[in-house]
Structure 1
Amino acid sequence: MAAHHRRQWAAAAVAAGVLSIAAPGPVYAVDFDIVFPADTACEFELGVNVTGGKPITREFFDSDGNTVRTLTAGRGSDLTFTNVDTGATVSLKGNGSVTSTIIHPDGSSSVRSTGHNVLILFPTDVPAGPSTTLYVGQVSYDVDAQQVFTLTSASGRTTDICDELG
């Protein structure tokens, strides 16, 4: 899978796992599984099972009809992370969170999430991954047009999912 497509899947997994980003109005998440190759999300092959969630997403538009901001809130999906090599698992129940995303004209975005959020960083991100971290508090990051994530701030409690599974 190309790096750009892996990044899209990683972003989808994070979004779905945390909030199951969906159309405006109350909806249920689509359950899915994804496996990240070794040295992508963790040092080992990482499986993620995503189930449930009840988010609500609102989109905000400029005068030309372009989406300039999204706000997603609600109960996130249940997540089960698996070290594919050892079979070890870590399960997280879906909790509440709010994510505000500012979409810039150049295709980049700035994201601020509060509550319970999982952020997966690849080796091409800043700081360089592989890492899969649960943030309970606030986490902010920028995403450039090439889908490179740059962590800009974090506060609260963190759990290193890769260490938990190692």
Structure 2
Amino acid sequence: MIFVAALFATAQPAEADDPIVLDPGLGCPGFALQLQGTGGNLQTKDFYDKNGNKVRTITAGKGVLLTYTNLSTGKSITFDTSGSVSKTTYNADGTYTVRASGHNGLVLFPSDVPAGPTTTQYTGTIVYTIDPTTGVFTLVSSSGQAVDVCAALA
């Protein structure tokens, strides 16, 4: 399980059990969104070229129980993210390309491409780029099933 937004890249929060709260208009239009993952066991491995430059990161493992909550109404939706693999490539121009498969949540902010706020839970594959200078995420492609979390919680 990986959930991402322009504030945090392809990693879980510092403590997976600690909730993340996104103000109205960031994760979903019109209400504050809480994301909380419990359990899981993800492992990360970094790969370096002969000069010591990081060129790729792979994160894989058993996912978490991921709960999204509309903080205005208290309505929640939970996904058992039974596993995922995320491969991040560090591009020569300084951007990152992430290919995530399995169960992954993707939060796009108004500054991202396409512009959010949107929160989508995917089962399948998503590919997106991250510009660490601007913080902009760009969704390149998605395949498989997608659940519009904001619509489900509205």
**Counterparts of 1:111 and 1:7 in 2: how far apart (Å)?**
13
Greater share of residues in helix: 1
Alignment of 1:27-38 (within 5 A): 30-38=16-24
Kindly tell me the number of residue pairs found equivalent between the two proteins: 148
Greater share of residues in strand: 2
**Counterparts of 1:118 and 1:153 in 2: how far apart (Å)?**
14
1:155 aligns to 2:139 (yes or no): no
Q: Which amino acid aligns with 1:94?
A: T
Q: Which 10-residue stretch deviates more, 151-160 or 106-115?
A: 106-115
**Counterparts of 1:116 and 1:94 in 2: how far apart (Å)?**
5
1:143 aligns to 2:130 (yes or no): yes
Alignment of 1:1-166 (within 5 A): 7-9=6-8, 11=9, 15-16=11-12, 30-43=16-29, 44-145=31-132, 146-166=134-154
**Counterparts of 2:16 and 2:35 in 1: how far apart (Å)?**
14
Contact 1:16 1:76 in 2 (8 A): no
Task: Give, in angstroms, the shift of residue 104 of structure 1.
Answer: 2.0
Task: Give, in angstroms, the shift of residue 94 of structure 1.
Answer: 2.7
TM-score of the two chains, using structure 1 as the length reference: 0.83
Contact 1:16 1:77 in 2 (8 A): no
Q: Which amino acid aligns with 1:57?
A: T
**Counterparts of 1:158 and 1:94 in 2: how far apart (Å)?**
13
Q: Which amino acid aligns with 2:151?
A: D
**Counterparts of 1:52 and 1:106 in 2: how far apart (Å)?**
36
In structure 1, stretches of 5+ residues that fail to align are 1-5, 21-28
- Taking only the aligned residue pairs, the percentage that are identical comes to 45
